[in-house]
Structure 1
Amino acid sequence: MIKSQKDFFSGLMFTLVGAAFAWGATSYNIGTGARMGPGYFPLLLGIFLAVLGGCITFYSLIEHTEDGEPVGAFAWRPVVFILGANIVFGILLAGLPRFGIPPMGLIAAIYALVIIAGKAGDTFSLKESVILATVLSVGSYLAFIMLLKLQMPVWPTFITG
């Protein structure tokens, strides 16, 4: 008997996603602990996630809650805004040459990502989003452009020429 629907279905989801990652990692070279291959970390992470999901699922069957914690309605708003923010980020960062949209660069993409994703929550503050986007932009510029020397557009092409 399921005593907590939320825990049961979230544990089941963790178990399935973890098992899928672990299974997918077996198609790569696993290697050993001393010489890790590209599939080593995804395999271990998938196993850990599957075990965690199994524990949560088991816990949902033995731990009694007041109302059984039923699963609520699907939250479409956060899904739409978070996915939309990532799509806009990709389009602004790289552009869409096929449709004549030039790259707008890393800074504009980060600002758009943070502001759009911020709308996914119950409360939205433009001031807080701009502050967060500024911190992320500076950090990303320092990490990716200055330290790692990655070649990507930082500013829109109409600014840099």
Structure 2
Amino acid sequence: MFVIVGGAFAIGATGYTIGTGARMGPGYFPLLLGILLTVLGLFVMLKGLRKSQDGKGDKLGGVAWKPLVFVIGANLLFGVLLGGLPSIGLPSFGLIVAIYALTVVASLAGERFSLKGALILATILAITSYVAFVKLLNLQFQVWPAFITG
């Protein structure tokens, strides 16, 4: 994964002016970051393929499907709820609802689920996100569902 993402960043950065170390262009940092990520990925991959000293290595485990599905699903749900799907008539539900949905669904990925804990975390994340993005950075996006704000 590191090799693929790093390679994609490095290749994508070549579409911008790279510049030099003294006069960096917009593609300089993504190019270096992509190269470093690719090298790190190759190092991790080669270390993982190397046999242990005694010739016995641990078997690869199965894919953890439950966390994978819930975490990816939570992120997709966040995007859909925040932006809506106008093509099918689904309105935006706003930042606060999207954060609560993201937190509760992602919390289902763990071995133990606590609705109380998920709601406390969602409240902290919602307040922090509102203050940081809406109040401090003045970003303009819907905070509450349209049927609440009118």
TM tier relative to shorter chain:
0.7 to 0.9
The 5-angstrom pairing of residues 33-52 of structure 1 reads 33-52=21-40
Tell me, in whole angstroms, the C-alpha distance in 2 between the residues paired with 1:97 and 1:117: 25
Report the alpha carbon displacement of residue 34 of structure 1 after superposing the two structures with TM: 4.3
Higher relative contact order (CA 8 A, sep 6+): 1
Amino acid in the other structure paired with 2:11: W
The correspondence for 1:86, drawn from 46, 52, 75, is 75
Report the alpha carbon displacement of residue 121 of structure 1 after superposing the two structures with TM: 1.9
Gaps of 5+ in 2: none
Amino acid in the other structure paired with 1:103: S
CA RMSD of aligned residues (A): 2.1
The correspondence for 2:58, drawn from 63, 66, 69, is 69
The 5-angstrom pairing of residues 131-150 of structure 1 reads 131-150=120-139
1:155 aligns to what? Answer: 144
- Shift of the 127–66 alpha-carbon distance from structure 1 to 2, 3 Å rule, reads farther
TM-score, L = length of structure 2: 0.86
TM-score, L = length of structure 1: 0.81
How high is the sequence identity, in percent, across the aligned residues? 58
Report the alpha carbon displacement of residue 24 of structure 1 after superposing the two structures with TM: 2.4
Cα deviation per residue 1:10-61 (whole Å; 9 max; x = unaligned)?
xxx4234322322222122223334433322221211111222232234332
Gaps of 5+ in 1: 1-12
C-alpha contact (below 8 Å) 2:51/2:57 kept by paired residues: no
The correspondence for 1:111, drawn from 100, 110, 127, is 100
Moved more, 55-64 or 97-106: 55-64
Amino acid in the other structure paired with 2:101: A
Tell me, in whole angstroms, the C-alpha distance in 2 between the residues paired with 1:36 and 1:79: 38
The 5-angstrom pairing of residues 11-30 of structure 1 reads 13-30=1-18
SS of 2:111's equivalent in the other structure is coil
Q: Across the two proteins, how many residue pairs are aligned to each other?
A: 149
